[in-house]
Amino acid sequence: MNAYLYLTIAIFAEVIATASMKSVKGLSTPLPLMLMICGYILAFWMLTLVVRTIPIGIAYAIWAGMGIVLISVAALVIYGQKLDTPAMLGMAMIVGGVVVIQLFSKTTGH
């Protein structure tokens, strides 16, 4: 399977796990707890497959950068948490960095 597909799965699994974390209230909320645990297990498992092909620094930069942006979108949609202009600008720079890595870096493994 393609490393970028694994990376995409890792990113979405981590976002689901992190978004679920806010709803975990100990063992009294089993669904969010299971989503969190399973999401992180899947995310790290996929990430271990990714780093077999893509250099770990590049894979982690993409995983973390896209995770930050997507969890912010999820928090807005699910919890109504809004970002101010500096936060959105910072995230735009993170996405810009990921784009630069993908377009211009010779260490991305493709």
How many domains are contained in the chain?
A: 1
Residue 79 lies in a domain: yes
Residue 7 lies in a domain: yes
Residue 25 lies in a domain: yes
Residue 109 lies in a domain: no
Q: Chain-wide mean pLDDT for the chain?
A: 91
Q: Give the span between the Cα atoms of 106 and 79, in whole angstroms.
A: 39
Residue 110 lies in a domain: no
pTM score of the predicted model: 0.85
Q: What is the pLDDT of residue 1?
A: 72
Q: Give the span between the Cα atoms of 47 and 80, in whole angstroms.
A: 29
C-beta separation of 57 from 69 below 8 A = no
Reported as a single tens digit per residue, the pLDDT across 42-84 is 999 999 999 999 988 889 888 998 999 999 999 999 999 999 9
Q: Supply the range of the domain harboring residue 31.
A: 3-104
